[in-house]
Structure 1
Amino acid sequence: MSEFFNNFSTLIIFLHIISAIIWVGGMIVIRFAVHYSMQNIEDPKIKLGRTLENLKRFFSMVIPSIILLVTTAIIMILALEFKGGELYKFVILKEIIWSIMTIIFIVIYIKRNKAQKAFDNADFASAKNQLTPLAKYLIPINIVLGLFAIILGITLRGF
């Protein structure tokens, strides 16, 4: 694994970083730009439909990014032999954070799918109820966790 990493380290680190940027940056854009611009839409049906479509498109970028982030993280952990070293606690903490973020993402994904089903059945109140915790709690929590994980990554690269 070390030889593989040595031959492709720039690409592996780039893919790892760009994946984190897409995931965390995408959540920031969804929450603080798209969400607020959606508030200008007065028709609740159109607003819900657009929100569902935005999340669907977001997921199509984020799911591959999460897979790539995990894959590159495993490669780096193995190749750089962090286990047992003084930095291993940072690696473990990053793994915990990204794992929690993934669990929250799965909840977001499930809630979005439930909202889509409710929307398709013209149950707009239920669709809105499924989506509300995403903007209020789940995405902001993941943003904070993601930013903290990025800081830890910078710390690991600095050593």
Structure 2
Amino acid sequence: MTELFNNFSSLIVFLHVISAVLWVGGMIAIRFAVHYSIQNIAEPKIKIERTLENLKRFFNMVIPAILILLITAVIMIIALGFKGTPLYSFVIAKEAIWTVMTVVFIIIYIKRNKAEKAFIEGDFLAAKNNLAPIAKYYIPLNIILGIIAIYLGITLRGF
């Protein structure tokens, strides 16, 4: 891993950072731009349909970013030899945050799929009830956690 990182450090760090930016930035865009524009749609069926489509497209973009983030994190942790150093607590904190974010993402993914199933079956209330906590709780939680993780990453690069 050390040789891999030494040969491709700029690319590995770039992929790590751009993946975090896509995930966290995508959530910020979905929550604070797309979500509010969808609220202006009067027809509930169309509103739910647009929300489902937007989340599906977001997932298509962010799932590869999450995988790249994980792979590049493992490479950097091993190659930079953080274990046993004072900085290792920052590494552990980042790992914990990204792990929680991934669990929350999986919950969002499951809720979105349940909402889509309900929507297809014509149960718009169940679809809405599955989608509501995504915008209200899960995405804001992941935005906050992601910003903290990015800050910790900047702190690690600064040392």
What is the TM-score with the length of structure 2 in the denominator?
Answer: 1.00
Secondary structure (helix, strand or coil) at the match of 1:16 reads helix
Secondary structure (helix, strand or coil) at the match of 2:128 reads helix
Q: Which residue of the partner structure matches residue 105 of structure 2?
A: 105
Q: Which residue of the partner structure matches residue 95 of structure 1?
A: 95
Q: Which residue of the partner structure matches residue 152 of structure 2?
A: 152
Secondary structure (helix, strand or coil) at the match of 1:34 reads helix
Q: Which residue of the partner structure matches residue 78 of structure 1?
A: 78
Measured in 2, the distance between the counterparts of 1:43 and 1:52 equals: 14
Q: CA deviation at 1:129?
A: 0.1
Which blocks of at least 5 consecutive residues in structure 1 are unaligned? none
Q: How many residues align?
A: 159
Which blocks of at least 5 consecutive residues in structure 2 are unaligned? none
* Segments of 4+ moved more than 6 angstroms: none
| RMSD of aligned alpha carbons | 0.3
**Superposed counterparts of 1:41-80, under 5 Å:** 41-80=41-80
Secondary structure (helix, strand or coil) at the match of 1:156 reads helix
Q: Which residue of the partner structure matches residue 31 of structure 1?
A: 31
Q: Which residue of the partner structure matches residue 138 of structure 1?
A: 138
Measured in 2, the distance between the counterparts of 1:52 and 1:4 equals: 40
Measured in 1, the distance between the counterparts of 2:79 and 2:129 equals: 45
